Structure 1
Amino acid sequence: MATHEHEITEPVDLCLPDGSLNPAAVGWSRKPLHRANLRGWGRTKRWEYWCVTTPTHLVALTVSDLDFLALNSVYVLEYGPGGREFECSSVVPAGRGVHLPDTVAGAPGSEDVVVGPARPTGGKVRVEIRDENAGTRLRARCLTPDRLPLEADILVARPDGHESLSVVVPWSEQRFQYTSKHTALPAAGRVRIGSELLKFGGGDDGTWAVLDHGRGRWPRTVDWNWGAASGRTDGRTVGLQFGGRWTAGTGSTENGLCVDGTLTKIGEELDWHWSANDLLAPWTVRAPSSGQVDLTFTPFHNRSAHTDAGLIANRTDQCFGHYNGRIRTDDGTEIAVEQLLGWAEDVRMRW
């Protein structure tokens, strides 16, 4: 089922000279083609979020500029009962010293991003996103809540021809978001926590990276669902990318399947069902019209964050777990999804 949405195949500016949304930018693409030439202050939000899943751990790095502050973080989760979980976050008033480029940070032809001191102390965080010939290099340093030094060094590969999903979501001429989601990218690296060294990747061990690149001008409050997963299933390399609620009524969705590096764009809104009272109960995600997505997501952990800091209030429940069910690509190929590791989240944001 081909999407009704307009496919963009040439580079385009996100904004007109006055800072409003460029009508020619509305659509989706199989690789990042938008230049986010944003103007204005207060409603502009920029971020790079990388999440790397291994068979035993998950590592997520965030660099964000929300105009009146920047929030940069390192998150680590060890799966299983009693597994470690911690987050090191640094708030930078007015976003001083944090600059995110108009295109995907660390990609060929774009800018590298480096935030925080080289030897962070006192709650500060160092994050680096750099272009290398073999891919994107992710590095991070911080002190854990137990004051152990943490160092992460991860290389995310760029397989030739691997497609991603980039979409412009238009609420209005003045409020819009450009998102570029990259799934099922092979990764390898290490994380040192104190004297303990974790190594992953370097072979077919099930280490995958996902990128959420965002640039836009947002309303004051918004709710969303986001789900993603990567891995091998039914003899294929599969990346799942799903969104919900925040795109409703805009004519755009951020829904797609990446199978062996080829993108299937899904233009319909998906049906999400989950229990707000029991977030670790199974979720379902389905494509009601096309039937291209019929999945059950079973969480094993909820990363819950509820904050109210005046200008920013956030309620995030990001559940990590496994997807099972089936998907169908544009060419009609049905793929059985079995224990695909990823996440699904329920977020309410005031910012």
Structure 2
Amino acid sequence: MATHEQEITEPVDLCRPDGTLNPAALGWSRTPLHRANLRGWGRTKRWEHWCVTTPTHLVALTVSDLDFLALNTVYLLEYGPQGREFECTSLVPGGFGVRLPDTVAGSPGADEVVVGPARPSGGKVRIEIRDETSGTRLRARCLTPARLPLEVDLLVGRPEGHESLSVVVPWSERRFQYTSKHTALPAAGRVRIGAGTLEFGGDEAAWAVLDHGRGRWPRTVDWNWGAASGRTDGHTVGLQFGGRWTAGTGSTENGLCVDGRLTKIGEELDWRWSTSDPLAPWTVRTPSSGQVDLTFTPFHNRSAHTDVGLIANRTDQRFGHYDGRIRTDDGTAIAVERLLGWAEDVHMRW
């Protein structure tokens, strides 16, 4: 195995009755098995983030409940020099009307999340995430800053036996995070922007990634997150990488999903990137095992800065392609060539 961490194979509660971390929940699983039974208020963070990519465009939906406020976002990017970029963000003081349910063992995320008015005007966002028999339905509506209506309707598939990475990261018994990352999920549907339509999953494949999070966080934290999905070297590959925020906890959120099978990597990654040149290549490597040796070359930088008193955020999320090599648990070496995804550098005070 590529990790020393305990693999969890049976459903388990994240928290004890007093709200502290359940020691039996420490570990990782190939399917969601933790019930995130968080209680009370105070540094509690819950979110659902979906990103669906194609070779020419992508869309991301985020619903987040951060205790004292909620941030709900729809983001659309068309690649290339003439590509369009739209972002609709709704900030809800007190998080009124935004309540994300506890995770249920066996579910890929929240079974049903609905936020915002059915017909949102400027500054409002409508997002729906619903579990269906054939997968997860993603719908969204908003009015962009350019006054163009934007509507999302996508279905993310759930292939039989497709594995994901769920892991508990502990800072202490009162500060901990349950994260469930799902990569390389097939998706199809469309996004309407103004009078135009962008197709997902038609002639070009579309791939979805889910970041499902539940936990209680420190006041200030820095992280790297990288993910990618697609076909390369005859395989369907999903990359899931994290960094900095897990250092010293004994847990990592690093994994490879190859043809639906997860390789969990317990080693902290070596991330190298430029803070001055947003489009300079990154390197992401496992310094000891050699299981990951990749270069990430960005083509677009999404820079976001938020400062609303209690929350301050700096995010530099670069979209681009991964190239290099990875190796699975069974020793299979895979050449990674232009695998589409992202890598980000985040500072958060919340």
Task: Measure, in 1, the Cα distance between the counterparts of 2:295 and 2:308.
Answer: 35
Q: Per-residue deviation at 1:103?
A: 1.3
- Deviation sequence 1:18-55 (CA, Å, 0-9, x none): 00000000100001011111123130000000000011
Contact 1:225 1:346 in 2 (8 A): yes
CA displacement 1:296-335 (0-9 Å, x = unmatched): 0000000001221110000100000000000000000000
Instruction: State the partner residue of 1:74.
Output: 74
> 1:46 maps to what in 2?
46
Question: Which residue of structure 2 lines up, in the alignment, with residue 310 of structure 1?
Answer: 309
Preserved CA contact (<8 Å) 1:220 1:350 = yes
Which residue does the alignment assign to 2:295?
296
Using structure 1 for the length normalisation, give the TM-score.
0.97
Q: What CA distance in whole angstroms lies between the structure 1 residues aligned with 2:326 and 2:207?
A: 20
User: CA 1:25–1:107 in structure 2 vs 1: closer, same or farther (change >3 Å)?
Assistant: closer
Extract structure 1 runs of 4+ deviating beyond 4 A: 104-110
C-alpha distance in 2, partners of 1:306/1:111?
31
Deviation at 1:219, TM superposition (A): 0.2
| 1:82 CA displacement | 2.4
* 2:221 pairs with 1:222: yes
Q: Secondary structure at the match of 1:70?
A: strand
What secondary structure, in the 3-state scheme, does the structure 2 residue paired with 1:24 have?
Answer: helix
**TM superposition score normalised by structure 2:** 0.98
Q: In the alignment, which residue of structure 1 is the partner of 2:261?
A: 262
* Match status 1:243 vs 2:238: no
1:182 alignment counterpart: 182
Measure the CA separation in 2 of the matches of 1:76 and 1:105.
31
Counterpart-to-counterpart distance in 2, 1:239 and 1:349: 26
Measure how far apart 1:2 and its partner are: 2.8
Identity of aligned residues (%): 86
Q: Which residue of 1 aligns with 2:148?
A: 148
Distance 1:25 1:160 in 2: 25
Change (3 A) 1:105 1:2: closer
Q: Give 1:33-112 correspondences, 5 Å limit.
A: 33-103=33-103, 107=107, 111-112=111-112
Of residues 79-88 and 208-217 in structure 1, the stretch that sits farther from structure 2 once superposed is 79-88
CA distance in 2, matches of 1:105, 1:303: 34
Name the structure 1 match of 2:343: 344
In structure 1, what is the Cα distance between the partners aligned to 2:213 and 2:252?
14
8 A Cα contact 1:323 1:337, kept in partner: yes
Equivalenced residue count is: 350
2:125 aligned residue: 125
Conserved? CA contact 1:154–1:188, under 8 Å: yes
How far 1:101 moved relative to its partner?
1.3
Deviation track 1:100-158 (CA, whole Å, cap 9, x = no partner) reads 11116994796311100110113100000001111000000000111111111000000
Q: State the SS of the aligned residue for 2:221.
A: strand
Q: Are the aligned partners of 2:31 and 2:106 in contact in 1 as well (CA < 8 Å)?
A: no
Q: CA deviation at 1:285?
A: 0.2
Partner of 1:170: 170
Aligned counterparts of 2:308 and 2:121: Cα–Cα separation in 1: 23
| Aligned pairs (5 A) from 1:268-279 | 268-279=267-278
Q: Distance in 2 between matches of 1:45 and 1:23?
A: 20
- Distance change (3 Å), C-alpha of 1:179 and 1:108: closer
| Inter-CA distance 208–275: structure 2 relative to 1 (3 Å threshold) | same
Structure 2 residue matching 1:55: 3-state secondary structure: coil
Q: CA deviation at 1:206?
A: 2.3
Change in 2 beyond 3 A, CA 1:109/1:39: closer
Structure 1 residues 72-111: Cα deviation after superposition (integer angstroms, max 9, x where no partner)? 0100011000211111000111111112111169947963
- Residue 70 (structure 1) shift: 0.6
| Mapped partners of 2:268, 2:107: distance in 1 | 30
